[in-house]
Amino acid sequence: MNFKNIRYALIFVLFSSVAFCQLHSHHHHHEGHKYEVGLSIGAAHLDREGETVPSTHIHAMRRIGEKTALGLGAEYFFTEHTHYSLLGTISYNPCLAFILDISPGILFSGHDGAQETHFVTHIELTYEFDLGVIGIGPVVGVGFSKEDRHYLAGFHLAKGF
């Protein structure tokens, strides 16, 4: 898979989902709860290192409206050196099971024996299948900072309370 071209696929999927949402409107499991805890696992390609590694992302969210939520998250990449992010997240559920998360935060990484910190923005698009108060489905995302960029694809699981 050519990870350099995944950004075009992400843009296409994002615009397609927004266009699709303009035509359809349905209810989703988010309407039944105020809080959510979620976990995503998958593979991430780290441009700076030129490698693909396992990754995990966790978040805790609070609904602030019918289609939006705010929360905190953390993302960890399983590499030989330190590579993780602490994030604030705004989540938007435009329709059906599409969820767009935009998460600014701080990236912590170790390179050549030195610890670095950078501002990072992480964008994820999830499609959740409804299983009562549990949502499950595929997720794709991109994270970028001044020094690095990563692309990820994985599996998302969330529980509402």
Count CB-CB contacts under 10 A for residue 94: 14
Count CB-CB contacts under 10 A for residue 113: 6
pLDDT at 121: 95
43: its two tokens: 């593979």
pLDDT at 11: 60
35: its two tokens: 């809080």
51: its two tokens: 């490698």
pLDDT tens digits, 22-63: 555 544 545 567 999 999 999 999 988 889 999 999 999 999
pLDDT at 95: 76
pLDDT tens digits, 72-114: 999 999 998 888 999 999 999 877 688 999 999 999 988 777 8
- Domain ranges in the chain are 3-21+29-160
Rg of the chain, C-alpha, whole Å: 16
Into which CATH architecture does domain 3-21+29-160 fall?
Answer: Beta Barrel (2.40)
